Amino acid sequence: MSNVTMMELSRELDEQFDRLLKECMVSGEIDQELYTEYDVKRGLRDANGKGVLTGLTEISDVLSYKSVDGKKMPANGELYFQGYNVKELIAGFEDRRYGFEETTYLLLFGSLPTPKQLRSFVRIIKSLQELSGQFLRDVVMKATNKNQMNALQRCILTLYCYDANPDEVTVPNVLRQSLQLIAKMPQIAVHSYCAYRHFHADDTLVIRLPNKEMSIAENILQMLRPDGEFTELEAKVLDVALVLHAEHGGGNNSTFTNHVVTSSGTDTYSATAASIASLKGPRHGGANLKVQQMFADIKEHCPDYEDEKTLTRYLEDMLDKKVFDKSGLIYGMGHAVYTLSDPREVILKEYAKRLSEEKGMQREYGLYERVERLAGEAIAKKRHLFKPICANVDFYSGFVYSMLGIPEELYTPIFAISRISGWSAHRLEEVVNNGKIIRPAYKYVGHHRSYIALDDRRE
């Protein structure tokens, strides 16, 4: 070591790592034509982009086509929870505070609750909200980090240690654990963010406990805001957003992850943490944040929101990978299932408009509406597409959260707070039906080789 400086050693290690990296890239690369040769359903999708059927569920249904004279035609999207159209559910919740709680009951138990059942269910959820002072101190407040999805995942996993019976995979035990997670996740997410801001941005640490008289949506706002105040419309809009994000079929990435992990027989906390890991990804739950970043970039380069020619040119440059993150994507546009419209986007857009009027942000709302229209036209033109391109729910969700004063770090955790209802319903469905472990096949396309002794291998 005396004849080798640390700088030389570091340079040598860097060179060795670069060599290993090149070998990894070469070794891991698969001939893309083999996917066609062996008819591999990449991403579990067929050649037309339709998801491969991997299971059965009664929890939700996602529709995007209709049959006309025996032909499959694009249609306005529809979403059903346990057989009920989400559009009708939200219309029915208009004058009620506990829409998300009622939706959660529906997803878990298969039917809409009676007034008495809903009151009882809300009381149960509120009784399970509390986190012990020890958990807040030792788990939420320590080892804080900027990415709140990782913080949420860490806290969920650690709840395992506070459960007297964490590993039992029976319906009663999984239901108990699911209800506790649904109740506790809002507090975990908000307090994790507040702790991070306190220790890393010198913000005053204010810990507001859940108010037993408030709904989950109302509590998120009152725990997050220094003065604990919010308007009736703000709470309603957040409640609607939670309902819309609560469930979206068994095939979405995070829910399918929950099915896969649950089928192995693992515990509820591990299955939920796996779903959170999936939802964190920018191709899934993290998309709403990318939309907000994209709009910040659009506002910077197109300050005249009404100038459609400039907006169109910029959107085309975005598709040509010249501006923003140069990915060639317009975030929030397009969906794997929906064609003419995403019903969640249609509903949330209307509430975004109402909230923008209360906030005096009609100009910003106009920009979103304009970009939505122009982006669809630009994508169809640039990509020579005949299939319609619609905005998805992520297009307006970030805008709604920004108007509600929710920090960007909590955009995806809010999604998780909502989707835990769907994850729990699907986990329970998997446990109730006691299915086989989910194990799809992978085709080996390498070569068999004879072993070569170490001393006989050429440098």
pLDDT per residue, tens digit, the chain (459 aa), is 456 687 887 888 889 988 888 888 888 889 999 988 988 888 888 877 778 899 999 999 999 988 888 888 899 999 999 999 999 999 999 889 999 999 999 999 999 999 999 999 999 999 999 999 899 999 998 888 889 999 999 999 999 999 999 999 999 999 999 999 999 999 999 999 999 999 888 888 888 999 999 999 999 999 999 999 999 999 999 999 999 999 999 899 999 999 999 999 999 999 999 999 999 998 899 889 999 999 999 999 999 999 999 999 999 999 999 999 999 999 999 998 899 999 999 999 999 999 999 999 999 999 999 999 999 999 999 988 877 799 999 999 999 999 999 999 999 999 999 999 999 999 999 999 998 999 999 999 999 999 999 999 987
pLDDT at 206: 85
Rg (CA), the chain: 24
List residues with catalytic annotation: 335, 394
Any residues with CB less than 8 A from the CB of 124 and at least 6 apart, and which?
179
Contact indicator for 395, 332 with CB cutoff of 8 Å: yes
pLDDT at 2: 54
Any residues with CB less than 8 A from the CB of 125 and at least 6 apart, and which?
101, 104, 179, 182, 183, 216
User: Torsion angle of alpha carbons 190, 118, 246, 56, nearest 10°?
Assistant: 140
190-194 contacts, C-beta under 8 A, 24 or more apart: 190/220, 190/223, 190/224, 190/410, 191/131, 191/136, 191/140, 191/141, 191/223, 192/140, 192/144, 192/148, 192/151, 192/152, 192/155, 192/413, 193/148, 193/151, 193/224, 193/407, 193/409, 193/410, 193/413, 194/224
Contact indicator for 93, 99 with CB cutoff of 8 Å: yes
Burial 1-35 (b: 16+ CB within 10 A, else e): eeeeeeeeeeeeeeeeeeeeeeeeeeeeeeeeeee
Q: Which amino acid is it at 120?
A: S
pLDDT at 325: 96
The model carries a pTM of: 0.93
Helix (H/G/I), strand (E/B), else coil: 207? coil
For the chain, which domains are there?
A: 91-281+410-433 (1.10.580.10), 287-403 (1.10.230.10)
Measured between its terminal Cα atoms, the distance across the chain in Å is: 25
